[in-house]
Structure 1
Amino acid sequence: MSSTSAFFTQKQGELVPAPHARGPWSPDMLHGRLLGGLAARAIEAEHAQPGLHFARLTVDLFRNSPMLPVTVETSLVRDGRRIRVADATISTDQGVIARASAVLLRTSEQPAREQTILTPAWDVPPPDGPPVETNGWRPPFDLWRLTGWGEPGPGRVWLRETYPLVDDEPLSPFVRTALAADFASPLSNAATSGLHYINADYTLTLARLPEGELIGVESTGHAGAGGVATGQVTLHDTAGPIGFCLVTAVANAAAIG
């Protein structure tokens, strides 16, 4: 990672975006995945505790934001013996642009029972070549496509972050996964003619945090009607499945072909 190329620089309580923090929909719009990453970073910094595991993160992306400095505020909603709930609000000087809610659960001994259904590990090895090259908007992260874009059937990719999120801070496993989870929308909502939806939110659920920098994403469901869609993916690391991500999305005229 290059510490001089972080997506945001912290200045006087604000997070100032770098040029590569833009998204694919417009050159002057912040990428929504970074807002989820910022929410995860703030909640983890202020509300993480040994023995508590980040089991869920829901990110609501209800307003597009231009490339403006952002602030993130968190609040503790519930602090019980086995559960902690914390929220985050992300704002610019134009108002609130996103919010998030995290659930932390107390870890304990795993029940010694045979499950009736288990998500299998990938039959895909980690990438051993360079990431793919793309035309147009170039993702500011490493991307390996295991299936062709828009091909029928489940889409699969490996992702790896290449820039810090804020200044020279190392990415935690939780923040790394929150950034990757936003890819659930293009992967589960892709069509043979391109991407015709933009997501309004995503909900990440984790049985465990990832090991290492690589995160695999596999689309496992899509349903749509009346210009509204929902999609789901399974998340993996090189050791096996780690959780799931569910998105809701709305039809978008500015489709990516």
Structure 2
Amino acid sequence: MDLPSAFYVPDGDGLLATALTIGPWDPRLQHAGPPAALLAREAERASGIPGGQTVRLAYDVLGPVPVGPVQVAARVLRPGRRIELVEATLTAGGRPAMRLTAWRMRSGGASAVSPPRRHPVAPEDAGPTEFGVFSEPVAYHRALEWRLASGSLAEPGPAATWTRPRCALVEGEPMTPLQHLVAMSDAASGISAELDWERVTFANVDLVVALFRPPAGEWLAMDATTTLGPAGVGQCSADLYDADGRIGRSVASLFVEPR
């Protein structure tokens, strides 16, 4: 199967989304993972701390992102030589669709480091798997290679997967581990779904990724659990790993309703 080489291709002063951004709910709308990764890229490009570490990324999904042209912009809200706060916004169809605020810190030597906590299943020991819920043959699920470490993508309940990129974020640029991590992490509620995809929509309105060290390498993992509340609200949380061990955690708030 021929796939686009990237989630986005340059298009004038913006970017054009390819079919690899298509989400599971509507083929006209993007999965939130690719635009989240695009905003992480923009925040780091606007940073005033060269070589710094992004330690928290907090996303607000302001509306659906259509598969089409998008524009991104960033500004430093709180400058500093050691710590800064960067804001990045993605606009589509003339309206803001997603916003990121990212705390970044200057990297330096540490006097004490916690021992790494590795995932119990290494990527080479995880089994190949695929999402079966996308209506389009070429969509977000084709952009990453998925290997199941625990649980099932076909049955409700907690699950863990390793992934590695099959494409670039922006054509002509390698996808960085941080961009890969964010693009993957937004799928945590998909791999750990508690309800039938055919009967229920569970879309996240936000995503927070908190990291105590930067991701590294081609393989990254999320070990995810979704919990449902009594009034159409859910929460998905995931421990995040690279091959060297745990690197942080993500959490997302879910709006749940019948399809």
Normalising by the smaller structure, the TM-score range is 0.7 to 0.9
- Within the alignment, does 1:216 sit opposite 2:233 as a pair? no
In the alignment, what sits opposite 1:164? 168
Trace 1:8-87 onto structure 2 (pairs within 5 A).
Answer: 8-47=8-47, 49-87=49-87
Alignment deviations for residues 202-246 of structure 1 (CA, whole Å, 9 cap, x no partner): 001111122211111002563523101122100001110011001
C-alpha distance in 2 between matches for 1:151 and 1:68: 32
In the alignment, what sits opposite 1:142? 145
C-alpha distance in 2 between matches for 1:222 and 1:110: 36
C-alpha distance in 1 between matches for 2:50 and 2:228: 38
C-alpha distance in 1 between matches for 2:257 and 2:65: 17
C-alpha distance in 1 between matches for 2:128 and 2:15: 29
- Once the two structures are overlaid, the 10-residue window that deviates more, 85-94 or 42-51, is 42-51
Trace 1:95-110 onto structure 2 (pairs within 5 A).
Answer: 95-110=95-110
One-letter code aligned to 2:102: A
C-alpha distance in 1 between matches for 2:94 and 2:257: 23
C-alpha distance in 2 between matches for 1:90 and 1:62: 10
Shift in Å, 1:46: 2.1
Change (3 A) 1:112 1:169: closer
- Within the alignment, does 1:191 sit opposite 2:188 as a pair? no
Shift in Å, 1:199: 0.7
Q: How many residues align?
A: 249
Structure 1 gap segments, 5+ residues each = none
Shift in Å, 1:37: 0.7
Change (3 A) 1:3 1:47: farther
- Answer yes or no: is the 8 Å Cα contact 1:144–1:158 preserved in 2: yes
Match of 2:251 among 246, 249, 253: 246
Trace 1:227-242 onto structure 2 (pairs within 5 A).
Answer: 227-242=232-247
Shift in Å, 1:193: 3.6
One-letter code aligned to 1:50: P
3-state SS of paired residue (1:77): strand
Identity percentage over the alignment? 28
Alignment deviations for residues 32-56 of structure 1 (CA, whole Å, 9 cap, x no partner): 1111011011111221633521101
C-alpha distance in 2 between matches for 1:239 and 1:50: 24
Shift in Å, 1:94: 3.4
In the alignment, what sits opposite 1:124? 121
Change (3 A) 1:210 1:103: same
Shift in Å, 1:107: 2.7
3-state SS of paired residue (1:176): helix
- Answer yes or no: is the 8 Å Cα contact 2:7–2:167 preserved in 1: yes
Measured on the aligned residues, the alpha-carbon RMSD in Å equals 2.5
Trace 1:172-183 onto structure 2 (pairs within 5 A).
Answer: 172-183=176-187
What TM-score comes out, normalization by structure 1 length? 0.87
3-state SS of paired residue (1:59): strand
- Answer yes or no: is the 8 Å Cα contact 1:198–1:252 preserved in 2: no
Structure 2 gap segments, 5+ residues each = none
